Structure 1
Amino acid sequence: MNTPPLKLSALLKNAVIDAKGLQIGTLADLIVCLNPDHAPQLSGLVLRIGSGTVYAPISIVLSMTSERITLASARLDLRPFERRDGEVLLRADVLGHRMIDIGHAALVRAYDVQLEHNAQGWTATGVDTHKARRLNFNRDHETHPVRRWEDFEPLIGHTDSLASRAGGTGLDRLKAPQFADLIEEATTDEQNELLNHVHGNPELEADVFEELDDDSQSEILAARTNRETAAILGRMRPDDAADALMDLPQDRRTDVLGLLPQPQRARVTKLLGFHDATAGGLMGLDFIQFPPDTTIALALTALSRSTTSQPEALNVLFSIDTGGRLVGSLGLVQALQLPQDTLLLHACDPDPVFATPGDDVVDVTNRMADFNLLLLPVLDPEGRILGVVTVDDALEAAIPQDWRRREAQPHPSTPTNHH
């Protein structure tokens, strides 16, 4: 006989009947152990008996319906219920709490959990993220869609169960900007869980911190030690690390700067001298330059080996004279379309558009828009390249702050199929 799916909300406070047909209490919660490979299975019940709660293993449950829960035994361990490591409580941890909708990279609230009985036992198979109407006189026709449990990642906020939820998580499908959006919207407890996940991947953690808005980044780094902060800043792009460093309280900056690895410290120190609303403050230090007699083939080979550089900063090849002064630029697409033995001397634009370190952000963004530039070199008074402004940094600087605080639209983490 097939057992129809049940909703958690319909089970809570149900009478629990023992093997003799006597009511011994009511249902207070259901216990599951999360598994990264499939929907979580019920391992036990939390029963309210009098003023306390006790544990009942799922093995003694004879049946569960929307009216009652029947046990196959009258014998229970009457010691007060205590959650064990790895256990998750569907009512206390999930119902009414927020979860991450992985497909849309958005925070949603779980208003109900669907339970089904299969060959493995009782399983939490779905989540209802639609709030039920208070006045609903036709419940039989209520059609809230229930989506698969695997489409969500619960933010449990329970430290002891974290280890059992760390591997194979759906969060691995999210990208750094999506994590940043979620963290900015999350509560402190939710932030801690998300940050704990990205902390296991130092490169991802640095990328996430680069994407965070200034306020969120400052608040999170304020709770980190100087050494922890330096570890994050040490992996960030130097321009983003310099901005983050300047947002720290003044009495922390020197200590954190001193803890950075030497190459990163030198780069960050170089950028600290520029105001953040200028080209110098916007620029990054990754770029690629060659003498004019370099062939395109040789330049592209060097480009392919620049695996530690910011990819956005490699969209343009720069040509410099013997004094290090900029004498030409060539877009990457143009370079790929030309004969590979062509010299940069003959291929480059001999009059490249550039900025100076003190140029205002508005001037920089307008210049990039006017000339359709993906990359704008920033030159010192002698014409040498100090750094480059990438189009993503220019866009970020150009977007008004109040636009950033508008309610974000969900950003799917996987392509949507249109039928």
Structure 2
Amino acid sequence: MTRAYVSRLAGLPVFDPNGDRVGRLRDVVVALRVGTACPRALGLVVEVVARRRIFVPMGRVTGVDAGAVVLGSGTLNLKRFEQRRGETLVLGELLDRMVTIRESGRRATVVDAGLEQLRTGEWQVTRLAVQEPGRLGRRGQLHQLAWAEVAGLALPESGQGTETLLATYRELNAADLAHALQDLPVKRRHEVAEALDDQRLADVLGELPETEQMGILGVLADARAADVLEEMDPDDAADLLAELSNVDRNRLLELMEPDEAEPVRQLLQYSEDTAGGIMTSEPVILAPDATIAEALARVREPELTPSLASQVYVCRPPSATPTGRYLGLAHIQRLLREPPSTLVSGVLDDLEPLRPEAPLSEVTRYFATYNLVAAPVVDDRGRLVGAVTVDDVLDHLLPEDWRERQRRG
């Protein structure tokens, strides 16, 4: 596990995967929960150029130490950070709060918070440094305590406010939360959806039927809807936008950051029942001179789905889709059997890729023939444009109402 105290992180430089500095860490955003459950860290507030503060989701963070914070992705949303309902700033709001030490019943002040990454990849505030009041100008006793050993910071246990519902749902995965939302009255469903942070709402939207997706997107302000679409996987965002009118679709695309909107625009060019229409445009792409050690580091990124993490794709620059010439793919099983210093280009599988226009029937036969969980999609110019994953295929093979049937069952 990785643990760091937030006050010691304040002001640390934040670097992208290439080692370029993107800004400085100014705060950590967390979501408090009911009872003694540790708060979940949602992301970082990072100060970039011109003192602009932006939000970086914790899923982008790959390393935190005494000298720097390292991100796993160089793509950042440069919209100015705006704190949302249900969010708490550790340095700005949590420190200096008065709490009660449960064992002794004594009052104390929070002076620091310990941020820890669990084996699941999630970050939580698991410990607090609290100080009792001193006498005659002296400092009181300092305690290092687990979060559950203090009282006075958690959300209230009673009541049915939106914050309480959110706290109840904190532990649910995206699919289960989607089912829970569908069981709520429409008004409350929309209140909870609006109160979720962008990344969480994006994950949930990907698990909802199209009608529910459209209903929630419709109650969001345009700027918020664009933010949520940016956090969605490009293929899910494209599927959702495809259901809108041309006017609404283009308006939201214009509000999205250009780097986030471009892969969605590319996917919207393809028919939804083809490889191009169901692929994701953000698989793990490496240059020919990357080592196996670099490849394994990339597939460990917590934001990757298991199917996308199953293999890497090697291409000539540029590394964003559509890439330079596609050279081949390497399966993670092969990577684990080779020395870390070996070039990934030396262990490539020359499996014939799918074409973007390949119909769904051809895609399913391809997966069955080669026993794959993911497959490359390459255009007629030899460029990698995306990858189809087995969950994408299943989504399109199952009946349109399969999510509803699962919920009713």
Indicate the TM-score class for this superposition, using the shorter chain for normalisation. Answer: 0.5 to 0.7
Cross-structure match for 1:195: 193
Return the offset for 1:154.
Answer: 9.3
Residue type at the aligned position of 2:293: A
Alignment partner for residue 315 of structure 2, among 311, 320, 341?
Answer: 320
Residue deviations 1:102-140 (CA, integer Å, cap 9, x gap): xxxxxxxxxxxxxxxxxxxxxxxxxxxxxxxxxxxxxxx
Q: Distance in 1 between matches of 2:266 and 2:398?
A: 26
Return the offset for 1:190.
Answer: 4.0
Return closer, same or farther for 1:179/1:302 CA change in 2, 3 Å cut-off: closer
Cross-structure match for 2:30: none
Cross-structure match for 1:290: 286
Task: List runs of 5+ in structure 1 lacking aligned partners.
Answer: 1-34, 39-152, 411-419
Alignment partner for residue 174 of structure 1, among 164, 169, 172?
Answer: 172
Q: What is the correspondence of 1:254-269 to structure 2 with a 5 Å cutoff?
A: 254-269=250-265
User: Does 1:227 find its partner at 2:204?
Assistant: no
Return closer, same or farther for 1:330/1:162 CA change in 2, 3 Å cut-off: closer
Do the aligned residues in 2 keep the contact of 1:222 with 1:248 (CA within 8 Å)? no
Return the offset for 1:162.
Answer: 4.2
Cross-structure match for 1:352: 351
Q: Distance in 1 between matches of 2:332 and 2:200?
A: 27
Q: Distance in 1 between matches of 2:232 and 2:225?
A: 11
SS in 2 for 1:328: strand
Residue deviations 1:255-310 (CA, integer Å, cap 9, x gap): 11111112111121121111111111111111233344543224334545x56655
Cross-structure match for 1:247: 243
User: What is the percentage of aligned positions where both structures have the same residue?
Assistant: 30
Alignment partner for residue 275 of structure 2, among 275, 279, 296?
Answer: 279
Q: Distance in 2 between matches of 1:254 and 1:312?
A: 31
Do the aligned residues in 1 keep the contact of 2:165 with 2:192 (CA within 8 Å)? no
Q: Distance in 2 between matches of 1:264 and 1:155?
A: 39
Q: Distance in 2 between matches of 1:404 and 1:310?
A: 19
The CA RMSD measured in Å over matched residues stands at 2.9
Return the offset for 1:216.
Answer: 1.0
Q: Distance in 2 between matches of 1:291 and 1:369?
A: 29
Q: Distance in 1 between matches of 2:290 and 2:162?
A: 54
Q: Distance in 2 between matches of 1:229 and 1:204?
A: 13
Do the aligned residues in 1 keep the contact of 2:162 with 2:192 (CA within 8 Å)? no
Return closer, same or farther for 1:259/1:408 CA change in 2, 3 Å cut-off: same
Q: Distance in 2 between matches of 1:404 and 1:36?
A: 29
Q: Distance in 2 between matches of 1:321 and 1:245?
A: 31
Aligned residues: 252
Return the offset for 1:215.
Answer: 1.4
Task: List runs of 5+ in structure 2 lacking aligned partners.
Answer: 1-32, 37-156, 318-322
SS in 1 for 2:253: helix
Of the structure 1 ranges 223-232 and 390-399, higher mean CA displacement relative to structure 2 is found in 223-232
Do the aligned residues in 2 keep the contact of 1:297 with 1:341 (CA within 8 Å)? yes
Residue type at the aligned position of 1:36: V
Cross-structure match for 1:84: none
User: Does 1:236 find its partner at 2:232?
Assistant: yes
Q: Distance in 2 between matches of 1:333 and 1:286?
A: 21
Return closer, same or farther for 1:246/1:321 CA change in 2, 3 Å cut-off: closer
Cross-structure match for 2:391: 392
**TM-score, normalization: structure 1?**
0.54
Residue deviations 1:165-223 (CA, integer Å, cap 9, x gap): 367x3211111111112223433134235424xx3422111111111111111122223
Return the offset for 1:367.
Answer: 1.2
Do the aligned residues in 2 keep the contact of 1:289 with 1:317 (CA within 8 Å)? yes
Return closer, same or farther for 1:311/1:267 CA change in 2, 3 Å cut-off: farther
SS in 1 for 2:180: helix
Alignment partner for residue 184 of structure 1, among 182, 186, 189?
Answer: 182
Residue deviations 1:85-113 (CA, integer Å, cap 9, x gap): xxxxxxxxxxxxxxxxxxxxxxxxxxxxx
Residue type at the aligned position of 2:308: A
Residue deviations 1:57-111 (CA, integer Å, cap 9, x gap): xxxxxxxxxxxxxxxxxxxxxxxxxxxxxxxxxxxxxxxxxxxxxxxxxxxxxxx
SS in 1 for 2:170: helix
Return the offset for 1:357.
Answer: 0.7
Q: Distance in 2 between matches of 1:223 and 1:367?
A: 40
Q: What is the correspondence of 1:293-372 to structure 2 with a 5 Å cutoff?
A: 293-304=289-300, 312-320=307-315, 324-349=324-349, 351-372=350-371
SS in 1 for 2:328: strand
Do the aligned residues in 1 keep the contact of 2:209 with 2:401 (CA within 8 Å)? no
Q: Distance in 2 between matches of 1:200 and 1:238?
A: 20
Q: Distance in 1 between matches of 2:198 and 2:273?
A: 29
Residue type at the aligned position of 1:347: V
Cross-structure match for 2:372: 373
Do the aligned residues in 2 keep the contact of 1:155 with 1:193 (CA within 8 Å)? no
Residue deviations 1:24-51 (CA, integer Å, cap 9, x gap): xxxxxxxxxxx9339xxxxxxxxxxxxx
SS in 1 for 2:362: helix
Residue type at the aligned position of 2:267: L
Return the offset for 1:381.
Answer: 0.3
Cross-structure match for 2:145: none
Bigger radius of gyration among the two? 1
Q: Distance in 1 between matches of 2:158 and 2:209?
A: 24
Return closer, same or farther for 1:402/1:212 CA change in 2, 3 Å cut-off: closer
Residue type at the aligned position of 2:34: P
Q: Distance in 1 between matches of 2:165 and 2:178?
A: 19
Do the aligned residues in 2 keep the contact of 1:362 with 1:398 (CA within 8 Å)? no
Q: What is the correspondence of 1:202-221 to structure 2 with a 5 Å cutoff?
A: 202-221=198-217
Return the offset for 1:311.
Answer: 5.6
Return the offset for 1:356.
Answer: 0.7
Cross-structure match for 1:52: none
